[in-house]
Every structure is written in C-alpha cells, then in structure tokens.
Amino acid sequence: MKHFLDIHKTDPDDLRRMIDDAGRMKQARLGRPRGAPDDDLPLADRVVALIFEKPSTRTRVSFDVGVRQMGGQTMALSGSDMQLGHGETIADTARVLSRYVDLIMIRTFDETVLTEMADYADVPVINGLTDRTHPCQIMADIMTYEEHRGPIAGKKVVWTGDGNNVCASFLHAAGQFGFDMTFTGPAQLDPEREFIELARSKGSRIEIERNAEKAVQGADLVVADTWVSMHDGQSSRERRHNMLRPYQVNAHLMSHAKPDALFMHCLPAHREEEATSEIMDGPNSVIFDEAENRLHAQKAIMRWCLGL
C-alpha cells in the first residue's frame, strides 16, 4: 500500500514513472469523448472516496472523471457530511472508510488531518490539497512543462507572489526532479525555510530575489497564484494587494524572462491582479493544458497508489 502525501515523500523514480504513465494515458485518449472509458479499466469494481473539507472545482471534477474513465466509482463527501474531527475521530473515520472504499482522496485544511488519515487507513490516501502543500497540482505542472519544452531537469522556475502551499510543493519538486527555483515576493510571504533547505540539500539552486525583474531573468517557467484566499476579509485583501502589486506577471515582467518562457497558474485566477489577461491568454501561457493535466496526472497517481 502506497500513500501519495507529498512529492518529497515519494521516490523520484516513482514520480518519473507517474509522469510518464500520465502522458501515455493522455495520448491513448486522443479523440475520444470525455465520458468514454479507457482501453484498460484498472479501477473496475473499485470505489474511491473523495473528501472535501475545502471547496473545489478542478480537484473534484478531475478526480471524479479520472476514476470513471478507469472504470471505478466515486463517493464525494463534504466536511459537513462527515464532521471530520468534530465528532468521530479522524482515526476512526479512516478505519471505517477503509472497510467501504479502495482509495481515499482528501482535500483539507490542516496537514495533520491528512497524516492521521494515512496513519490509520488500510487503503491508500492521496493529498488533494492542504493548507501546507498541493502535490497533485505540481505533478500536473511538471507534466505540462515537459509536454511543451522537454525535461524540466536543470531549468529555472520562478515563483511570483505568495510562498503558499502550491509554492511549497514546487520546492519539493525542485529537489526531486532536479530543477532550480527562484522565489520573488514580499518577505512576509516567503515560503517555509524547511522547504527551501530541503530542495537545496538535494542539489537544487534555490534563491530569494525581492526584485521581480531580476528574479525572472533567464527563467524557463514563470508561475503565479492567487493573491487572496476566499476566506480573507476586505482589509486583508487590500493589504495583500498592496504588498503583492510589484509581483504581478505582465508583459513588462515577462519581457525579462527567456523569450520562450512558459507561464503557469493553477487557477482559479483573479485576472488583472496576480497576472494580466494579456499573459494568461498569450502564446506562452499553458494554464488550460495545466488544468487538463490534473486529470491525467491524478489518474497516474491513483494507479501507482494501487500498484496498477
């Protein structure tokens, strides 16, 4: 039994196999209706629990469609459905679900909910997102970059804005896939030092550069994410906008990167805030390929978890 909890907790060879498997499955589906089954149905007769303490569009739809394409069934559960951790313990919830389903994906707030679920479940658990990391998204991002530009090893990735959970998983990936990464954003929003040092310990060059124009020089990939959370109040939003405005990805900033540098954003986006529509809809943007590849990358992750 294998859990997929974080990129740095998964062997690099296994990560590479997942990326390659995702690409193979994507190619095999070219020209097919979205609802058509895959040639092989590795999840036939299997049930996957999709637990959402946090709202979701891409994660919910991509996991649900992926399970169906592989012949399985899904059971979507919200935090209110389960009252996770508020009545029955997480450990007991994990034990009970393990008697009903073959795989658990959980999108939650606190990382300890994920880890406790994995500790007590008798079936594989996948991290669909926590406040600290978002590994499924980054697997899709690596897949997307390599589709367009070849191997990501040795490339320079620049993260602009907030050193959030998606940024954290990019740092994990830097060490595992062998690319370098520069963070540019205000000091108050730096990524966790632990994640920076982990990537450096594996040989990746990790830098922090406050000047966004300097940061993107020589960049092969520029990545942005939303500046505000749906839970931020108005005053918090205004403060964050003031801090982050110098890090907006626009045509001027991208002109300092390599001419063929790709732009990514995991979505949802607040257009004209963290990035302009000119960039998001421009020729170097791969944001919708990135969104699609959540489907294929997660199918590969599920297969790996189940040893298929």
Would you call 107 a catalytic residue per the annotation?
A: yes
245: Cα within 13 Å, side-chain hemisphere: 6
Would you call 60 a catalytic residue per the annotation?
A: no
Tell me how far apart the alpha carbons of residues 11 and 264 are, in angstroms, rounded to a whole number.
25
Q: Indicate which residue of 8, 132, 294, 296 is catalytic.
A: 294
Q: Indicate which residue of 6, 180, 225, 296 is catalytic.
A: 225
Would you call 210 a catalytic residue per the annotation?
A: no
DSSP state of 273: T
* Sequence-separated (6 or more) residues with CB below 8 Å from residue 133: 6, 7, 111, 127, 165, 168, 169, 172
Would you call 68 a catalytic residue per the annotation?
A: no
Q: Indicate which residue of 3, 68, 107, 265 is catalytic.
A: 107
CB 185 within 8 A of CB 248: no
Per-residue CA distances from 5 to 88, 142, 244, 270 (Å): 23, 17, 30, 28
Would you call 137 a catalytic residue per the annotation?
A: yes
Token representation of residue 274:
């963290």
Q: What is the largest CA-CA distance in the chain?
A: 55
Residue whose C-alpha is closest to residue 263's, from 160, 173, 134, 180: 160
Q: Indicate which residue of 69, 137, 176, 298 is catalytic.
A: 137
Q: Indicate which residue of 134, 172, 240, 256 is catalytic.
A: 134
Q: Indicate which residue of 136, 167, 266, 305 is catalytic.
A: 266
Would you call 225 a catalytic residue per the annotation?
A: yes
Supply the residues annotated as catalytic: 107, 134, 137, 225, 266, 294
